[in-house]
Chains A and B, each alone.
Chain A
Amino acid sequence: MRREFLIKSIVFLLFLVSFVSVAQHHDQSGHHSSPATTANAKTSLKKQIKDFINHHLLDSHDFGLYSSEDEAGNVSHVGFPLPVILWDQEAGLTIFSSSKFHHGEKVAAVAGRFYKLYHGKIFKTTASGAISYDDHHHVTNTKPLDFSITKNVAFIFLVSLLMLFVFVKMARNYKKNPLPKGIGRLLEPIILYIRDDIAIPNIGEKKYKNYMSYLLTVFFFVWIINLLGLTPLGVNVTNNIAVTLALALITYFLTTFTANKNYWKHIFWMPGVPTPMKFLLAPIELLGTFIKPFSLMIRLYANITAGHIVLMSIIGMMFVFKNWIGSPLSFGLAFALSLLELLVAALQAYIFTMLSALYFGSAVEEHAEHH
């Protein structure tokens, strides 16, 4: 009973951490880009596509559906602002709407303090919005701690609420009637699959119930959020390494804190090998415990990021070709790739769940024999 409570509190705490780390995460890639003026229209189109893809891969402080540019060069954005929550080292908590930034074009003035959005990061500045640099082209302005509800955080909340709603309703249905109703008919086989084909074979009959809640949560969370990434909403939560880091950390802590003495014995004093080998194996095994969640993090992040980049590049090729052969071809390719991405979205959720179950299984395994 105590262990179950421990698991639940760790999961809850780490979900909280994940929200903070998402808000803190910002990409560095746009840092050194300079407004290159190219006469060639084609290279400028390619640059536009590249910028768009880079922009899509970043988290943002407002929820933009699309933006367009008219002939005069005025850019109009369609979307809605999200709350910005800052912890200013001097003034304390500061909350305002991200519409004050005007998509990074203007300086936001809040209660006599000025903040500027610069390459996706919020800096404290003066009324004129001056940004100063050091020798390495790093911004020297003070940076308040950013706990904003960014686009990614907003979608994490949304998916959490959706899952809560769907699964609580489903659970209530089962109390009245053992037959599933509505969406439960779709989800019951998946849940049973996770229990019978992922949890029980990997963790074992005795202990699997402790981990089922986490495995189901992580599977549906990753799956739904990957699927949302394929909609035109521009959601890209799992392409954020902070999110996958938080998910992998939950798996790591669950493995570490619920492990029995066999697990630690196999790490530090491998049974069944000669004594000199035990000293050699201990550091390797110890490193292995960190590499496992690290590879979980990289795998999910890299798969979804690579999928988005390739898909968007091929969609961008439609505008590069602009003829009757190339554009339909790239459209067809983009369609086929979208279907592949549907598979990848489910597959990555499955692999994350599967490997988590495998690690939990190794942590609670009971060894009677040496091998």
Chain B
Amino acid sequence: MEGLNYVGAGLIVIGAGMGIGRIGGSAMDAIARQPEASGKIQTAMLIAAALIEGIGFAALFAA
């Protein structure tokens, strides 16, 4: 099947997008609850987002 790899890459990118969205949303919630911990939360958020982003890019390059 031709072009199926692009569909797979698209699915992974959708998943990665949802994942990063959830991380961002949860970080917002956490910051709203504990504004004094915002620095630590931001750092953790960026690391988690970067790790998911890596998977997304790996999929893009595999396609």
Contacts and interface: CB of A to CB of B under 8 A. Distances in A.
- Do these two chains really belong together in a complex? yes
A355 B57 contact: no
A196 to B, nearest CB: 10
A40 B17 CA distance: 37
A250 B43 CA distance: 23
Interface residues of B, number: 12
A299 B57 contact: yes
Interface in A69-124: none
Contacts of A354: 43, 46-47
A350 B39 CA distance: 14
Contact of A302 (B39, B43, B60): B60
Contact of A299 (B39, B43, B50): B50
Main secondary structure of the interface of B (DSSP, over half): helix
Given A197-B39, A298-B54, A299-B54, A351 B61 contact: no
B50 A351 contact: yes
B60 A306 contact: yes
Interface size range on A against B: 10 to 19
Main secondary structure of the interface of A (DSSP, over half): helix
A10 interface: no
A355 B61 contact: no
Interface string A290-304: 000001001100110
A164 interface: no
16 contacts: A197-B39, A298-B58, A298-B61, A299-B50, A299-B53, A299-B54, A302-B60, A302-B61, A303-B53, A306-B57, A306-B60, A347-B46, A350-B46, A351-B46, A354-B46, A358-B47
Interface of B: 39, 43, 46-47, 50-51, 53-54, 57-58, 60-61
